[in-house]
Structure 1
Amino acid sequence: SLLVTSGPPDSSLQIWQVVPEDSADVIKCVSAIATENCTGQPWAKIATISARAPWVLHGSRLNSVRITDVESRKNVYVAGSSSSQELSGLAFLDCDTLLLCCAEGQLCLADVRHPQILLEAAPIPS
């Protein structure tokens, strides 16, 4: 099995694998995926899915959201947004649909089949 984490020192995504050794399982870092984050940016939020292939959805801002194939480390989706709003969370709703939550409360839906389109939910009046 594979595990994905994000964080320092360079905000890359780390890919870990559980490897059996002697009488115990050991978790080893097997690769890293570079992100668009610069120093001082928030850590990337991450979500995974393995319906088609092992994919990781990641980004720290709306304009840095992408899906990377874990095995090839190639981007299979890049969100079509110019907004630099910080993300508070993201998730796969199914293998084609993403939910992106901004720190300021804005919700967005994205369809990986149409990367140039990002649907934003209307703000809730206070």
Structure 2
Amino acid sequence: MYDTARRIALVKQRVRENTRRRQRCEAISLSAACMLLCTVLMQAADAFAVQGQTAAWGSFGTMLLREDAGGYVLVAVVSFAAAVVITALCFRLKIREKQKKGAANKHARHEKEEKSQ
């Protein structure tokens, strides 16, 4: 049988592994969501773009000078709004993780003080 210190060390190691696994899963999920959003926005830009002769081929800035550039503007506004939402969600997740970590540290300090008394 393990002594108490060894069991606590093993539990902490499993907690770190689970936290790392969860963070990796969150990062992969966010990356997949960003790639999906990028693909959807590219398809939307292609669908809204009107085929026609432009002054400079391959230059999207000149496309906005045309009168039928509403689709590009719509896609830009939607992509900016999506980026803002994703950023806000990431900040909320980070704050929540800090709060959980702070509560765990507070609990650990309290236990340490009880042991020393």
TM-score bucket of the superposed structures, by smaller chain: under 0.3
Give 1 or 2 for the bigger CA radius of gyration.
2
Higher normalized contact order (CA 8 Å, seq sep 6+, divided by chain length): 2
Q: 1 or 2, which has the higher helix percentage?
A: 2
Per the normalisation by structure 2, the TM-score is 0.17
Per the normalisation by structure 1, the TM-score is 0.16
Q: 1 or 2, which has the higher strand percentage?
A: 1
